[in-house]
Amino acid sequence: MVSFAPRTIDQIQAGFTAGVSPVQVVEECVRRIAETNHKTRAMILVEAEEALAEAKIADAEIRSGRRRGPLHGIPIAVKDVIDVRGWPTTAGSKLFEGHVAEKDADCVARLREAGAIIIGKTNLHELTVGGHGNPWFGKVVNPLNPERGTGGTSSGSAAAVAAGYCVAAIATDTGGSNRSPAAATGLVGYKPARGAVSNAGALPTAPTFDAIGPIAVTVRDAWFVYSAMRGNPDSKLREVELSGLKIGVCPDLNNADVDPAVGSAQRTWLEAAASAGATIKVLHFAQSDEVKEAGKAILMYEFALKYAPLINAHPEKVGEAVRNFVSEGLSIGEDGYRSALAYRADVMSHFQQMIGSVDVLASPVAPGLAPRLSDEMTRVGADWVPYGTAGGSFRRWANFFDVASIAIPLPIAGDLPASIQIAALSSNEEALFSAAQALSHLS
């Protein structure tokens, strides 16, 4: 276990006001990386000298009264599918060996404009599809418990925040990749609507579903990072009352069992929301199995179509899991892919009507707690089930229907956190964040 007491962005900024330097904050992150990254394998690239140089500039600006906003002087890590100028972008693979980014991805450039300090690149499932056992950079270990993993595919990003290697991280979510590891590490993970944050400068997984979002300690921190990536670093989060909030729950959507510990934590949370004045409404959705299969077909085929030529030319540069994923993806064929897209278009309005009948939809992020490191299985009652592939039932629907979804931790006994995701139509994402902020304070 990595011992670390996280601080929020507000707390760190208060420290800057009191005389703490961004240099000290970055030095603390670098020290923790040096001491424990060999255990967690969260970071695959750390540019300490560059980060410290940027911290000195931030310190001088802050001391002179030229504050750029809440991210000024805040160290942030980047999932290694997103370009940072002058650094390699590996996607956790050997496939792009030797590639060095010529410029920052749009989202990174906007973070820099907001004063953020990019401290390094984080580990991930190879090419975002290769499973938790990355053959080149190793399995990411959960900082909360060394016998547990983090899920993925943004495994290193969540572990880096949980271990204190950075204050927040940015990563991609195509089928739950931000929400899954955030749930396993007790953090907040956000998937915005596709295109809400520019994907320019990020390697794609499946363009129909790809989205870039933050992983952070609190909802408010996630809002700061997300707003900055959209070019609005000073955007304020509105406070809302829970009284009158309509929360939907839809067991049909997952159509799968959850562990009693997860179910109990979520029931307690919903009861607390109801006690605070929220209304709980049970929703129904009969097409969950079809959505799961169509979403899988779209994701796998788009990935295979993009990367098969390069992988076939250099099969030795990717692991077996990636090669198998591409082979299965290609077997779907163009007709199968087009059929899945047509089904998505047909069912979209029905789902939007359902979720639009409430303010937010609350749903499990995963069937169980953080997965075992050895095999990425999670306990559900007396059984052990795959944590990663459960994304098809528990997380990918948010990408399929292009809704905004944020995972928040829930109070639970023990060292492994529980989590719930709160979703809303993408047009209501500011209201979603405000509701999530209020709901995150329930106990």
pLDDT per position as a tens digit, 79-122: 999 999 999 999 999 999 999 999 999 999 999 999 999 999 99
pLDDT at residue 1 is higher than 70: no
pLDDT of residue 390: 83
**Would you say 120 and 156 are in contact if contact means Cβ atoms under 8 Å apart?**
no
Instruction: Please write the tens of the pLDDT for every residue from 209-232.
Output: 999 999 999 999 999 999 999 999
Confidence of residue 411 (pLDDT cuts 50, 70, 90): confident
Residue 274 near residue 280, CB atoms below 8 Å:
yes
| Contact between 419 and 402 (Cβ < 8 Å) | no
DSSP single-letter state for residue 153? S
User: Which CA distances in Å does 286 have to 228, 255, 360?
Assistant: 38, 9, 19
Assess whether pLDDT exceeds 80 at residue 438: yes
Does the pLDDT of residue 234 top 90, yes or no? Answer: no
Average pLDDT over residues 45-68: 97
Domain membership of residue 148 as a residue range: 10-229
Q: Lowest-pLDDT range, 60-74, 291-305, 387-401?
A: 387-401
* 440 has pLDDT over 70: yes
How far is the C-alpha of 12 from the C-alpha of 371, rounded, in Å?
Answer: 31
- Is the per-residue pLDDT at 29 higher than 70? yes
Q: Is 110 within the bounds of a domain?
A: yes
Give the total number of structural domains in the chain: 1
Q: Is residue 26 part of a domain?
A: yes
User: Quick one: which of 9, 42, 4 has its CA closest to 157?
Assistant: 42
pLDDT in tens, 169-189: 999 999 999 999 999 999 999
Most distant CA atoms of the chain, gap in Å? 62
> What is the number of alpha carbons within 13 Å of residue 429 lying toward its C-beta?
22
HSE, CB side, 13 Å, CA atoms: give it for residue 168. 33
Query: Rounded to the nearest 5°, which phi and psi values hold at 436?
Result: -60, -40
Residue 252 above 90 pLDDT?
yes
CATH (domain of 157): 3.90.1300.10
In a domain, 409, yes or no: no
Q: Is residue 394 part of a domain?
A: no
Residue type, 51: A
- Residue 64 has a pLDDT of 96
**What letter does residue 164 receive in the DSSP assignment?**
T
pLDDT of residue 58: 98
Q: What is the pLDDT of residue 5?
A: 85
Q: List CB contacts of 137: < 8 A, sequence separation 6 or more.
A: 41, 44, 92, 123
Asked whether residue 408 is assigned to any structural domain, the reply reads no
Two structure tokens written together for 349? 């309005």
Read off the pLDDT of each residue in 299-305 and give the average, rounded to a whole number: 98
What mean pLDDT is reported for the chain?
96
Q: What is the pLDDT of residue 190?
A: 98
pLDDT surpasses 80 at 128: yes
Q: 151-175 pLDDT, tens per residue?
A: 999 999 999 999 999 999 999 999 9
pLDDT at 384 over 70: yes
- Going by C-alpha positions, the residue among 424, 382, 12 that lies closest to residue 436 is 424
The answer as to whether 318 is a domain residue is no
Rounded Cα distance between 214 and 116, Å, is 13
Q: How far is CA 287 from CA 102, 131, 137, 302, 397, in A?
A: 44, 27, 38, 22, 11
Residue 381 lies in a domain: no
Indicate whether 185 belongs to any domain.
Answer: yes
What pTM does this model have? 0.97
- Give residue 300's pLDDT band: very low, low, confident or very high (50, 70, 90): very high
Rounded Cα distance between 274 and 64, Å, is 48
